[in-house]
Amino acid sequence: MSELTLIGLFAGLALAVALYALSLPQGGLSWWGLAALTVALVLAGRAAGPSWGGVICLDFAELAAAALVWREGTDDAVRAARRYLWAIAPAIVCTIAGQALVGHGVTPPAAPMDKIALCLLLIGFALKLGLIPFYFWLPPVAAAAPPMTTALIVSVVDIATFAELWELRHTASWVFTEHAAIWMGIALLSMGGGALLALAQRELKRMLAFSTIADLGLLLTGVVAGSPVGLAGAQIGAVSHALSKVILFGAVGLAERRIAQPVTLDTRGLAARLPLVGAAFVIGALGFIGVPPGLGFAGYWRLYVSGAEYGGPALIGALFLVAALDLLCYVRAIHRVWLGPAQVVVNGAPAALAQATVMVLAVGIILLGLYPGMFTTAVGFAVAAVR
C-alpha cells in the first residue's frame, strides 16, 4: 500500500471524525485544535515516509493524542491520559533508540547491538500499540475519552504506528525473521488475550478497546509471517480496522449522548429507538470481525492463508479460536445492547450528520467487502501468491 493511499485513508477518517464532531461536539476549540494537530502530524509523518522526520512526527502525534485525552478534564480522563503518557514516553524512547541502532539497514548490527535493538523495538511498538501485556493504557482511555478522541487514537494514530511496523518489515526484515517466535508469541498473546478480555467486559467502549488489541495481534501475525499475502492481509485488515472502529465508537457515542450514560450490557434494545445507529453498529461489528461480506474478510482471508503457510494447522486453529471468541463477544454486544425490546429511555433524535457519517462508512465497508477488488486492485494488492 502506497504512502498516498495511507494519507488518503487518514485524511478520509479525519474528515469523518470532523463531520461527526461538528454534529455531536466532542469538546471545545482545544479539542478541535489538538485533534487537527494529531491528524496533521500523522499526515506529515506519512508524507515524510520511512525517515527520522516521519518517526518524530508520529511520536509527536502520539503526544498530541495524549493531550487530547487529558484536556477532557475529568478525573478518569486525566488518570487515563497519565497512563497513556506513561506508556508513550518509554515507547518513544525505545522505538527511536531501536531504529537508531537498526538504521533502517537490511543487515543486522553486530552482536549484541542486534539483540538490544530488537528488544527496544519490541517494547516500543508493544507499548504504542497496547499489545498484551502492555495494554494498560488503552481501555481507560477508551472509557474516559470522547468517542471520536478514541477513534482518532485507534484508527489513525495506532494504524500509523502499525504502518511503521510493516515498513520495518520491508526495510529491516531481519528484525522479524531472526526472532519470529517472539513476535509471533506477542501477536498470539494479544490476539487471544484481547479477545478473551473483550468477552469479559460489560462496558461497550472498554470491550471495543480490548477487541482493538486482539485485532492488532491478528494483523501482527501477517507482518511476522512476512509473505506478500500476509503483508497484504495486514494492510487491508488495518484499513478495515480503522474504518470499523470509527463506526463502532461513533455508534456508541451517539447512543451515549442520547441516553446520558455509558452503554453497558445492561442497556437493552437501543436499536428500537436508534435503528440506523444500531444498524451501523451491527454492520461495523460484523465487518470488523471478518464476517463476509465486510471489508474485514478481504484482509482476514489473506491473514489466514499466510497463517496456514507460516504456522500450519496449529496457527490456523489458533486464528479460528480467536475468531470464534470475537464472534461470541460482538454477537453478545449486538443482542444485549441493540436488539430486542427497548428498556432504556432515549432522549431526542440522534445527531443527523454524525449518524449519516457512521452510516456512510458502514455502507462503504459493505460495498468494499462485496467487491474488494475495487479497493485491492486500485491500491495495488496484486497478491503474487494467489493464482
Partner 1 sequence: MDPVFAPAGVLLAAAVLEIALARFLSRAAKGWLACLGAGLATLPVVAMAAKVLHGDVLTATGLAWDSGIPIAYHIDGLSVLFMLIATGIGTAILLYAVRYMEHEEEGTTRFYVLMLVFIAGLVVLVCSANLLVAYVAWEVVGLCSYFLVGFWYKQEAGPNGARKVLVITHLAGYGLFAAILLLYMRTGSFLWTDAGPAFSTGIALLMLVAAMGKSVLFPLHTWIPEAMNAPTPVSALLHSACYVKAGVYLIARMYSIGPWHPALGNLLLLVGCLTMLIGAVFAVAQTDLKRLLAFSTVSQLGYIVTGLALGTDLGVAAGLYYTVSHALFKGTLFLCAGAVQHAAGTRDLRKLGGLSGRMPVTTAVWLVAAAAIAGVPFTTGFVAKWLLFDAALEAKQVLVVFVAWAVSLVTVFYFLKATVSVFFGSGAPEVRAEHIHEVAPSMRLGMGVLGALCVVFGVAPQVLMRVVVEPAVRALGFTWQIQMTWFGVVTGSGAVGVTAGAAAVVAGAALGAAAFGFTHAPVRGPVLVFTGGDPLPEDEALGAVDFTEIAEAAFAPVYALDPDPLYLRIWRGVMGVAESAQDFAVRVFEEHPVATVVGGATVLCCGVWLL
Among the residue ranges 51-59, 101-109, 291-299, 346-354, the one whose residues contact partner 1 (CB under 8 A): 291-299
* Contact call for residue 341 and partner 1 (CB under 8 A): yes
Spell out, one character per residue from 88 to 117, where the chain touches partner 1: x when CB under 8 A holds, - when not: --x------------------------x--
* Contact call for residue 166 and partner 1 (CB under 8 A): no
Comparing C-alpha atoms, which of 212, 200, 191 is closest to residue 322?
191
* Contact call for residue 372 and partner 1 (CB under 8 A): yes
d(CA 52, CA 36): 22
d(CA 68, CA 57): 16
* Contact call for residue 244 and partner 1 (CB under 8 A): no
Asked whether the beta carbons of 216 and 326 are under 8 A apart, the reply is: no
Task: Among 320, 352, 353, 360, indicate the residue that binds partner 1 (CB under 8 A).
Answer: 320
Task: Among 12, 33, 262, 292, indicate the residue that binds partner 1 (CB under 8 A).
Answer: 292
Site for partner 1, residues 170 to 209, rule: CB under 8 A: 179, 181-182, 185-186, 193, 196-197, 199-201
Least separation in angstroms between residue 270's CB and partner 1 is: 11
Spell out, one character per residue from 112 to 141, where the chain touches partner 1: x when CB under 8 A holds, - when not: ---x--xx--xx--xx----xxxxxx-xx-
Burial class of 346 by CB neighbour count within 10 A (0 to 12, 13 to 18, 19+): middle
Using alpha carbons only, give the angle 245, 246, 251 rounded to the nearest 5 degrees: 100
d(CA 358, CA 98): 38
* Contact call for residue 381 and partner 1 (CB under 8 A): yes
- Provide the 3-class DSSP secondary structure of residue 203: strand
Is the CB of 32 or the CB of 86 nearer to partner 1? Answer: 86
- Provide the 3-class DSSP secondary structure of residue 218: helix
Q: Residue 380's CB: how many other CB atoms inside 10 A?
A: 10
d(CA 251, CA 257): 10
Task: Among 335, 345, 349, 353, indicate the residue that binds partner 1 (CB under 8 A).
Answer: 335
* Contact call for residue 228 and partner 1 (CB under 8 A): no
Residue 372 phi, psi dihedral angles, 5° rounding: -65, -20
- Provide the 3-class DSSP secondary structure of residue 267: coil
Least separation in angstroms between residue 331's CB and partner 1 is: 6
Q: Is 269 left (phi over 0), alpha (psi -120 to 50) or beta?
A: left
Is the CB of 96 or the CB of 334 nearer to partner 1? Answer: 334
Is the CB of 51 or the CB of 178 nearer to partner 1? Answer: 178
**Which residues face 12 on adjacent strands?**
none
Is the CB of 263 or the CB of 291 nearer to partner 1? Answer: 291
Query: What type of residue sits at position 219?
Result: L
* Contact call for residue 376 and partner 1 (CB under 8 A): yes
DSSP string of 34-69?
HHHHHHHHHHHHHHH-SSHHHHHHHHHHHHHHHHHH
Asked whether the beta carbons of 158 and 244 are under 8 A apart, the reply is: no
Site for partner 1, residues 30 to 89, rule: CB under 8 A: 83, 86-87
Instruction: Tell me which residues touch partner 1 (CB under 8 A).
Output: 83, 86-87, 90, 115, 118-119, 122-123, 126-127, 132-137, 139-140, 179, 181-182, 185-186, 193, 196-197, 199-201, 269, 271-272, 278, 286, 291-293, 297-298, 301, 304-305, 308-309, 313, 316, 320, 323-325, 327-328, 331, 334-335, 339-342, 371-373, 376-377, 381-383, 386-387
